[in-house]
Every structure is written in C-alpha cells, then in structure tokens.
Structure 1
Amino acid sequence: MGNQGCVYLVGAGPGDIGLVTAKGYRYLQQAEVVLYDRLVNPLLLEYASPQAEYIYCGKMPKKHILRQEAINDLLVQRGLEGKKVVRLKGGDPSVFGRVGEEAEALEQAGVPYEIVPGITAGIGAAAYAGVPVTHREHSLSFAVITGHDKSPSGEPLIDWHALANGVDTIAFYMGVGNLPHISERLISHGRASDTPVLLIQWGTTGKQRTLQGSLATIVEKAKTAQFKNPAIILAGDVSGIKKGASWFESKPLFSQHVLFGRASEESSTIGQHLRDQGAEVFEFPRMQLQKKLLKATDIPTDKDLLFLSPASVDVFFASLQANKIDIRHIQGEFYGVSSKTIKALASYHCVGKEVTERDSHASSLVILGDSEGIDREKQRYAIGFGDDFIATHTYNRVPQTLETFSRLQEEERIETIIFPNARSVQTVTEGFQACGESPESISAYAHVICFGEKSKQAAVKAGYSIATVLSEPSEEALFEALVQKEFPLAAALS
C-alpha cells in the first residue's frame, strides 16, 4: 500500500513566530511540501524541514503570484502524489484565508486534509498593542470584518446599521485603503464620531506600528502618518485603553532586526535571549550537518583526541557504535576547545578537559572537527600542537535560507549584523554572495557588530565596514550595545 498524502491547512499566526500552535509547528517540521503566503513571517520557514519543497503563493493587492485556482490544483496534485503538504497561511486559515475553497477542492479530489487553527490578527495584533478585544467595562462583543471585498469598488458590502449599533469592538482587516469609507459609514449609521480607533500595522512583529484617533480624526491622521496595509483597524471604546507603549512595545530590544551570524547548524542561545528581549532575530545562514562516519581503521585508539565542536563528539561516538568498537579501547585523553564541547563529551559519560590543560610536550594528538572552511595549518598553529586532522562532518547551506534573507531584505527587516566569531564571517558572507549581495552593499544599510578582535579582522578583510567591536565578547556586552544603539562608525578600527 502506497503512502497516502495529507494536506494540512495551517494558521501561522499574525507574525510573531512564537504564536504558531504546537500542532502547526509539528506539521511544518514534518512537511515535504510547504506552500506559504506573503503575510507568513519568512523566519517561520527556517523551522521547516531542510529537504522540503517550498512554493511561494505570495498574493499582493492587485498582483497575484499564484491564482487561487492554481494553488488549489497544487494542493491536490501534491496530495495525490502521497506527500505531506502544509499550506501555511497568515493568522487563522478560516478568517479571510479562503480555506473553505481549498478544503472543498481537496475533498472533491479525495485528498485527506486537516485544518489547524491559528491566532487571527484582529486578536493577536490588538493584544500586542496592549488592547483586549473584549473588556467587562468597555466591550461585550467583537466582530471581524473584511476591509475590502469582491464588490466593484472594493468597499465592503455589509449591514452597516447592525454593525455600527450592535457590536462594541470591530476589527477591519486590510482596510486602510478604505478607511475614509469605513469611518463615514459607521458615523452615518449611528456610531459616535468620537469613538476611539486604533490602527495596528505589522502587528506582533518588530515592525509593529500603531496610530490612535477617533472615527472623526483617524482618516487625516493615517494620511499624515502614511499608514498602509498590512494593518488592522480596531474601532470601539476598548481601543482607548491603550496609553503609551504596550508590554510588547516596551521590551528593551523592540523594533530591532538582527541578523546573527551562524557557523554551524546549531541555533544560538544568545539569539533566543535577544528574542526574549523583543528583538527579531534571523540566524543566517541555516546550515545542515552532514556526518562523515569514520571507518574502524581511521579511529585512533592510542592518541589524545581534541574535539572542535559538539558535532565532532557526536560523530566520533556514532562511529564507535557503527564499527562496534568498545569505548574501553580508546586509550587517549579527551579534550575540547569549548565548554559546549566538553558538555557534549560529558553526555557520553566521558571526562573532557580544556585544551589549555594539556602539556604541549605531550605526545601528539588527533584533532576532530568540521572539514569545511578550516585552514588546518592555522587551526593547528592556534592550538599549538597536533599532528593529524580527521574530518567528522561538513555543513551544507539550506537553500531556503537564501529566500528568507531576500524576503526580509525586501521588507527592510535587516538592520544589524552580528559576527560572534571569525568563522561566522565566512559562512554569512558566502550566504550573502549567493543572494547577489556583497559585504560592501550590506554595510551600506546595516550596522555590523563584531564580538572581538578576530571576528573584526575577518570582517574587515572580507570588506565590511565595522560599526562597533564589543568591549568584551559576551552576551551582556552585546545586549548593552543593542539597547544603547551605540554604533559609531569605526573607521579607525578598519
């Protein structure tokens, strides 16, 4: 019996990648095909399978990349091929997401499907702006309305009298273009002209922007502020609750967009900590580890072993298992170049020592690590000793990460680039070049921060203009620099 395909119609939430449901996240990781919309945060795609097929269905006003009929056909086709397909939609797929049409096409074709709800923008964006859509003192009812529809004018054809007089809080989706019409209709059908209105653009993301007014004033204010979609119009007394910056907007790194240089497949704990403080972090480029299991004859049993990364530790022990070699046959000492590597050794119940503890006059040792991009002679020279180098793995760049970079760049969501080490300069620069960018072109609009002297030298050599070098290579120093936004162009450094 062949594999049966299934299509998962998944809500990605309003923007913050942490707002996707656990079920949606699990299906995304398992997906063989991912079809995604323009309003899906491209950072979410970094968590899908590296082997997945990605199809952009990016709809823009009056400019559709893929027509709905073509999307329906693709879902059916891939489902009939036996694939696990995720149709990733911004917000909730059942709220103006045309999920009904897609589900109907799948049902008619006999393709199994599931609908995985998501947080809709009217609720999520309002919450991140500090406004609950219902409140015992201000709002006992809530409605979501499309801000434009299929009518000839694009102005929503609804029962304005019932809406103006029967609902406390009204959320209009993508309605900024029709804001004059919406305000006029609500007032003319009985809603007080001083009813508070809140506009929320790019809600729940680092680009979130809000504008407050009333039905009588919001049109002129939006015009002056050049407010555009994607945005939610929240009309009702509850909108007046917002006083100053919300809990989200008050985070110390709110509105900061950071590209954190990656040198391996592992995500950075620093990156997550920056997210917790409000920054939007893109760890670039995404890498996939390719193991190089050792043959029995290549496994050194009588020399000290120096591991350059946790991955090299994992591959070494996997090689022992694959060749059925008992750990008791390994006579040498274990050393690691970092605390992470030593912890990896400890996870296999082996004691790892700092490489600085080793006597430089001791017998030669074998170095195990990543073969790609390492200047072996310099690596050995920096360590001070070592004869043999064994490549345990290599890293391959995941193609989708380049599309993520391009999307974020188009949306002007790359402002600061952080190089935590010299190796990250190489991997990031190769990624930029694959996107048609150069260190010089990137430096024209992004601040470049280096953790220390070695990463600074590597970045300068590559062609970057350095904004700052941290006072010390630590998370605390990075956080302080980002909070203060002190990026003096360091011509003297370069």
Structure 2
Amino acid sequence: MGKQGCVYLIGAGPGDIGLLTLKGYTYLQRADVVLYDRLVNPLLLEWAPPQAEFIYCGKMPKKHILRQEAINDLLVQHGLEGKNVVRLKGGDPSVFGRVGEEVEVLKNAGVAYEIVPGITAGIGAAAYADVPVTHREHSHSFAVITGHDKSPSGEPLIDWQALAKGIDTIAFYMGLANLPYIADQLISHGRSSETPVLLIQWGTTGKQRTLQGSLATIVERAKAEQFKNPAIILVGEVSKLKKGESWFESQPLFSQHLLLGRTNEEPSEIGEHLRDKGAEVFEFPRMQVKKYRLTEANMATDRDLLFLSPASVEVFFESLQRNKIDIRTIQGNLYGLSKKTIMALEAYHCRAEEIADRTSNDSRLLIFGDTSWADLEEERERFALEHDFIITHAYDRVHQTEHTFSRLRDEERIDTIIFPNARSVETVTAGLQACGESPSVISRHARVICFGGKSKQAATNAGYSVHTVLARPSEDALFEELLKKEAPHAVVLS
C-alpha cells in the first residue's frame, strides 16, 4: 500500500507572515505541493521545502488564474498521489475562503484533509490599525459580511434591516466596488449617516493604508484617495478609536520593502533586526547546502583550524564521525570567522576563538569553507600567509525563491536592494537573471544600497545603478540610511 496523502487547508493570516499559526508553519515545512492564493504573502513560500511544487491560484475580481473546479481537481489529484498538499489561503480558510466546497470534494474522493484556522482579515487588519472590533463602551457585537456575492449585480443580498440595527461593528470583505451600495443600504435601513467608517487596505502588510470617514462621506473620500481592494470596510463606533498612526504604522521602517542580498543558507541577523523595526524583508536568493565528503587526509589534527561558517563546522564534525577520528586527537586551536561559527563549534563542546584573536602564526593554518572562497587566496591570506584550504560545501540556489521574487515584483513589494558584500551582488544577480530581470532595469525602480566600496564596485560592474554607499559598513549605518527616506509604495519593476 502506497503512502497516503493529506490536504492541509491552512489559513495564512491577513498578510504579516508572523501571523501564520505554528501548526500552519509546521505543515508548510513538510509540503510536497503548495497551492496558494493571491492574498497570501509570497514570503511564506520561503518556508516550504526546497523541492516543493508551487501552484499559484490567484483570484482577482472577474479574473481567476485557476477556476475553483481546477483547484479542486488538483487537490484531489495530488492527495491521491500520496503527497502532503498545503492549500494556503489568505486570512482564515473558513471565512469566505470556499473551504466548504473543497472539503466536500476531498470527502467524496476519499482524500484525507485537515483544516488549520488562521487570523481573519476583519480582526487582524483592524488590530493593526489600532481598532478592536469589540469594546465595552462601543461594541458588543461583531459581524463579517461579504462585500460581493453571486447575485447578478454582485451586490450582497442580505438582511440589511437586521444588520443595520442589530450589529454594532460590521466588517465587509472585498467590498470597495460596492461601497456606495453598502453605505446606502445601511443608511436606508436605519443606521445613522454619521456612523464612523474605517477603510483598511492591504492590512497588516507594509502596504497598509487607512481612511476614515462616515457612512455619509466615505464613498467620496475613497474615490478621492483611489482606495482599491484588497480592503476591509469597518463600520461602527469602534472605527473612531483610530487616532493618527497605529502601533504598526508608527514603526520606524514601516512601508519599506527590502531585498537583502544573501550568500548562504542561514537567515541573517540584520534581516531579523530590520523586521523588528517594521520593514518587510526578502532575503534573496534562498540557498541550500551541498555538503562535500572529507577524507582523513583533509583533516590534519596537528594544526590550528579555522572555520569560515557554521556549515563548515557541521561538515567537519560529520566527517570526523564518518572517518572514526577521535576528536581528542586534534591538537591545534579552533577558530571561527564569526560569532555564529564560534557558537556552532561550542555546540560540539569545543573551545573556540575568533580568528581576529589569534596571536601565534607559528603553525600552518588549515581553513575550512565553501566553494566561494576557493579563488579568494588574498582574502584567505589575511588569516594566515601559510595555509591550506579545504572545501567543505557549496551553496546552491533554491529555485522556488525565483517564484517568490516574481510574486513580490508583481505586487510592487520590492523598493530597496541591499548588498552587504561583493559576493551578495553575484548571488542576487544570478537569481534575478533566472527570473528574467536585469540589474539595470530593477535599479531604475528600486534604490540600491551597498555596505562599502567593494560591494559598490561589484554592483556597478554588474550593471546596477548604486544610489548609496554607507558611511560605515554596519547595521547601524544601514538603519540610519533607511530612516532618511520613506520607500515608495507604487513601484513597477518590469
């Protein structure tokens, strides 16, 4: 009997990748196939396994990339093939996510499934705008309503009388096209024309915009500000609780969409810190390690050893075990190029120091690193003029990262490119070219920031127009530079 497949119908939340549930994250990391919708943040795709297949099921008003029937067929097909299938939906799958239809099809086909709830946009977007949907003084009831339906006009056919008079806070989903109709129906069925209204566009993302008004004024204001879907229409007294910028909108790097050049498989601390300050960060391209097999001849035990990355540490100790070499035979000192590498060595219960602290050059140094260091003899000689270099691993680009880039580009969610070093220019450029993008085109629409002269020279040689070179090659200097200029919202990369 073959492996039984399962379809996981997962709510991805309203946009902020941090709002995906732990259970959803766990299943996404095991996925063989991911079918995802337009309102799913493309950055979530970076958490899927490198071999996962991505299928875009984007839906826009009157324009479907895949019709629901085709999506249903794909879920059944892959489930019957014994695969772990993740159906990733914006918000909560049970709130206007058509999960009921998909479940019925899976049941009829005998395919196992599981529903993983998510944070729905009406609650998540409101919270990121500083508005609670219930409040002891303003709202004792809350309803979510579709802003359009299957009626010939697309205007929601609901009990307007009960809604207007019986519900304190109402969240209309994807209803901006019907905003005049919605406002008219609520007023004509007894809701005061002065009832506060809050529009939240692209809630919980760096593209979040809000607009306040009343049932009497919101239509003209939305038209003047060119508000469009995806958006939530929040009607009720709680809407007036928003005063100025919300906690989310007041983050120092809010609205900035950064592409941070990546050279290895590990997410960077800089990227994490930028996210903590409110930026959306895409570390590109995603990489995976291809480990080399070290022989006993590669592992001299009488020299000082320098490891250039945590991955080189891992390969070395795996090779020790495979070659049955007792760690106690290592007589030299152990050094790491970075704090992360030192920590990797300490995880194997070894005492290690940073290479900058090495005071003795009496012994020939044995250096372990990835293929990118093979041609950098001058760089290696900074550590020791007399040394041998052993290649422990290579980094291969995960091709799904190109899919993530394409979706972010199409959604105008890349406005700044950051090159921390010259090597990042090489890896990013190779990734862009795989996506059909060129350095000259992308740097006409996104500012390019380089950490120093070497990265600037590499970027210029590759065809980028460099906008800024940091005064100091540091995270603090980068933060200061990003604070100088608010990244643009509307950027078309190609």
1:289-337: per-residue Cα shift (whole Å, max 9, x none)?
Answer: 1111212333222333221111111110111011111112223332222
Q: Does 1:461 align with 2:467?
A: no
Distance in 1 between residues matched to 2:204 and 2:452, nearest whole Å: 33
The residue aligned with 1:310 is 310
The residue aligned with 2:429 is 429
Query: What secondary structure is seen at the aligned counterpart in 1 of 2:472?
Result: coil
CA contact (8 A) 2:255 2:486 kept: no
Q: Does 1:163 align with 2:156?
A: no
Of 376-385 and 232-241, the range deviating more from structure 2: 376-385
Counterpart amino acid of 1:290? K
Counterpart amino acid of 2:333? E
Q: Does 1:397 align with 2:393?
A: no
Cα shift at 1:460: 2.3
Distance in 1 between residues matched to 2:247 and 2:258, nearest whole Å: 20
Q: Does 1:106 align with 2:84?
A: no
The residue aligned with 2:321 is 321
Q: How does 1:191-270 map to 2 (within 5 A)?
A: 191-270=191-270
CA contact (8 A) 1:16 1:205 kept: yes
Counterpart amino acid of 2:191? R
Give unpaired runs (5+ residues) of structure 1. 488-494
Query: What secondary structure is seen at the aligned counterpart in 1 of 2:464?
Result: coil
CA contact (8 A) 2:17 2:41 kept: yes
Distance in 2 between residues matched to 1:404 and 1:173, nearest whole Å: 26
Distance in 1 between residues matched to 2:226 and 2:139, nearest whole Å: 29
Query: What secondary structure is seen at the aligned counterpart in 2 of 1:134?
Result: coil
Query: What secondary structure is seen at the aligned counterpart in 2 of 1:30?
Result: coil
Aligned residues: 487
CA contact (8 A) 1:367 1:386 kept: no
Cα shift at 1:422: 1.7
The residue aligned with 1:32 is 32
Q: Does 1:119 align with 2:119?
A: yes
Cα shift at 1:65: 1.1
Of 378-387 and 203-212, the range deviating more from structure 2: 378-387
CA contact (8 A) 2:374 2:389 kept: no
Seen in structure 2, the aligned counterparts of structure 1 residues 384 and 442 have a Cα distance that, compared at 3 Å, is: farther
Q: How does 1:467-478 map to 2 (within 5 A)?
A: 467-478=467-478
CA contact (8 A) 1:420 1:451 kept: yes
Query: What secondary structure is seen at the aligned counterpart in 1 of 2:353?
Result: strand
1:401-448: per-residue Cα shift (whole Å, max 9, x none)?
Answer: 111111111111111111112221111111111111222112101111
Distance in 1 between residues matched to 2:13 and 2:312, nearest whole Å: 37
CA contact (8 A) 2:11 2:119 kept: yes
Distance in 1 between residues matched to 2:370 and 2:463, nearest whole Å: 25
1:243-282: per-residue Cα shift (whole Å, max 9, x none)?
Answer: 1111111111111111111110000111111111111111
CA contact (8 A) 2:16 2:204 kept: yes
The residue aligned with 2:336 is 336
CA contact (8 A) 2:316 2:392 kept: yes
Q: Does 1:274 align with 2:277?
A: no
Distance in 1 between residues matched to 2:90 and 2:109, nearest whole Å: 25
Runs (4 or more) in structure 1 with deviation over 6 Å come to none
Distance in 1 between residues matched to 2:433 and 2:343, nearest whole Å: 35
The residue aligned with 1:294 is 294
The residue aligned with 2:411 is 411
Of 360-369 and 281-290, the range deviating more from structure 2: 360-369
Counterpart amino acid of 1:87? R
Give unpaired runs (5+ residues) of structure 2. 488-494
Counterpart amino acid of 2:188? S
Counterpart amino acid of 2:110? G
CA contact (8 A) 2:255 2:278 kept: yes
Counterpart amino acid of 1:215? L
Distance in 1 between residues matched to 2:137 and 2:26, nearest whole Å: 39
The residue aligned with 2:420 is 420
The residue aligned with 2:346 is 346
The residue aligned with 1:492 is none
TM-score, normalised with respect to structure 1 = 0.95
Distance in 1 between residues matched to 2:486 and 2:191, nearest whole Å: 48
Seen in structure 2, the aligned counterparts of structure 1 residues 356 and 238 have a Cα distance that, compared at 3 Å, is: closer
1:94-133: per-residue Cα shift (whole Å, max 9, x none)?
Answer: 0000000000011111111110000000000011011111
Distance in 1 between residues matched to 2:256 and 2:230, nearest whole Å: 19
The residue aligned with 1:490 is none
Distance in 1 between residues matched to 2:427 and 2:239, nearest whole Å: 46
CA contact (8 A) 1:360 1:384 kept: no
The residue aligned with 1:491 is none
Counterpart amino acid of 2:265? E
The residue aligned with 2:490 is none
CA contact (8 A) 1:134 1:169 kept: yes
CA contact (8 A) 1:37 1:59 kept: yes
CA contact (8 A) 2:261 2:283 kept: yes
Query: What secondary structure is seen at the aligned counterpart in 2 of 1:114?
Result: strand
Distance in 1 between residues matched to 2:391 and 2:275, nearest whole Å: 34
Distance in 2 between residues matched to 1:100 and 1:224, nearest whole Å: 38
Distance in 2 between residues matched to 1:373 and 1:426, nearest whole Å: 13
Counterpart amino acid of 1:251? Q
Distance in 1 between residues matched to 2:386 and 2:193, nearest whole Å: 78
Cα shift at 1:361: 5.1
Distance in 1 between residues matched to 2:177 and 2:213, nearest whole Å: 17
Distance in 1 between residues matched to 2:134 and 2:140, nearest whole Å: 6
Distance in 2 between residues matched to 1:25 and 1:386, nearest whole Å: 47
Counterpart amino acid of 2:71? I
The residue aligned with 1:149 is 149
Cα shift at 1:359: 5.8
CA contact (8 A) 2:374 2:391 kept: no
Query: What secondary structure is seen at the aligned counterpart in 2 of 1:249?
Result: coil
Query: What secondary structure is seen at the aligned counterpart in 2 of 1:444?
Result: helix
Cα shift at 1:210: 0.5
Distance in 2 between residues matched to 1:374 and 1:62, nearest whole Å: 54
Distance in 2 between residues matched to 1:390 and 1:342, nearest whole Å: 18
Distance in 2 between residues matched to 1:360 and 1:436, nearest whole Å: 50
Counterpart amino acid of 2:61? P
Distance in 1 between residues matched to 2:88 and 2:214, nearest whole Å: 35
Seen in structure 2, the aligned counterparts of structure 1 residues 373 and 107 have a Cα distance that, compared at 3 Å, is: farther
Query: What secondary structure is seen at the aligned counterpart in 2 of 1:200?
Result: strand
Of 345-354 and 404-413, the range deviating more from structure 2: 345-354
1:343-368: per-residue Cα shift (whole Å, max 9, x none)?
Answer: 22222222323334446853432221
CA contact (8 A) 1:360 1:385 kept: no
Q: Does 1:41 align with 2:41?
A: yes
Query: What secondary structure is seen at the aligned counterpart in 2 of 1:431?
Result: helix
Distance in 1 between residues matched to 2:164 and 2:37, nearest whole Å: 32
CA contact (8 A) 2:50 2:398 kept: yes
